[in-house]
Amino acid sequence: MRFELALLAPGDWAEFRDLRLRALADAPAAFSSKLADERRLGEAEWRARLAVRTQFVARVAGTAIGTVGAYCSDGGISLISMWVDPMFRCRGVGAALVDRVIAHARDLGYPRLRLLVTEGNIEAERLYTRCGFEPTGVSKPRPDADAVRREVELARML
């Protein structure tokens, strides 16, 4: 399968919104954000999100099938908002998206890339392990009130 990766600009806010809502509908347990909350966001909020993060999209024949973001905070950089359409999984899209964020973080000069994964998200944990991430020992309750599971921090050197 041929897919291409591209960087989303604030003008691509509608494509980003659609991807994010698909992700939250498909895999609610993987994310602390809630579909009902994000459905209420308007154009300005989606544009603002794209202005403060770097968000990549994977497309097949022009149609978005996956996404991942990078967010800089507290002097570090995190991989966030990772999702691949179930119809296109297990074909290397997830690994290509992770590699894209690794390259981006290196380009910015960061020595380390971190992420949070919900405990028990086996597919994501396997992907991140294969891409060189290891547990840092840090874990915390998910920020959403109804969460039972914890988020575990993984990181890799760049």
Ligand X SMILES: CC(C)(COP(=O)(O)OP(=O)(O)OC[C@H]1O[C@@H](n2cnc3c(N)ncnc32)[C@H](O)[C@@H]1OP(=O)(O)O)[C@@H](O)C(=O)NCCC(=O)NCCS
Nearest approach in angstroms of CB 58 to ligand X is 8
Q: Is 154 exposed, middle or buried (0-12, 13-18, 19+ CB in 10 A)?
A: buried
Taking residues 99 to 118 in sequence order and writing x for each that binds ligand X by CB under 6 A, - otherwise, the string is ------------------x-
Query: Which span sits near ligand X by CB under 6 A: 6-14, 49-57, 104-112, 126-134?
Result: 126-134
Query: Which span sits near ligand X by CB under 6 A: 5-13, 32-40, 42-50, 124-132?
Result: 124-132
- β-pairing verdict for 112-118 and 63-73: unpaired
> How far is 62 from 47, CA to CA, in rounded Å?
21
In the numeric block, which tokens belong to residue 77? 């950089």
- β-pairing verdict for 150-157 and 134-141: antiparallel
60: amino acid identity, one letter: V
Find out whether 64 and 84 touch, Cβ atoms under 8 Å: no
Of 72, 123, 153, 158, which one interacts with ligand X (CB under 6 A)? 123
> How far is 3 from 62, CA to CA, in rounded Å?
9
Q: By C-beta, is 10 or 132 nearer to ligand X?
A: 132
Nearest approach in angstroms of CB 121 to ligand X is 5
Find out whether 24 and 31 touch, Cβ atoms under 8 Å: yes
Residue nearest to ligand X (CB): 94
Contact positions with ligand X (CB under 6 A) in 22-81:
27, 30
Nearest approach in angstroms of CB 108 to ligand X is 21
Of 16, 17, 19, 94, which one interacts with ligand X (CB under 6 A)? 94
For ligand X, the binding residues (CB under 6 A) are: 27, 30, 82-84, 89-95, 117, 121, 123-124, 126-127, 130
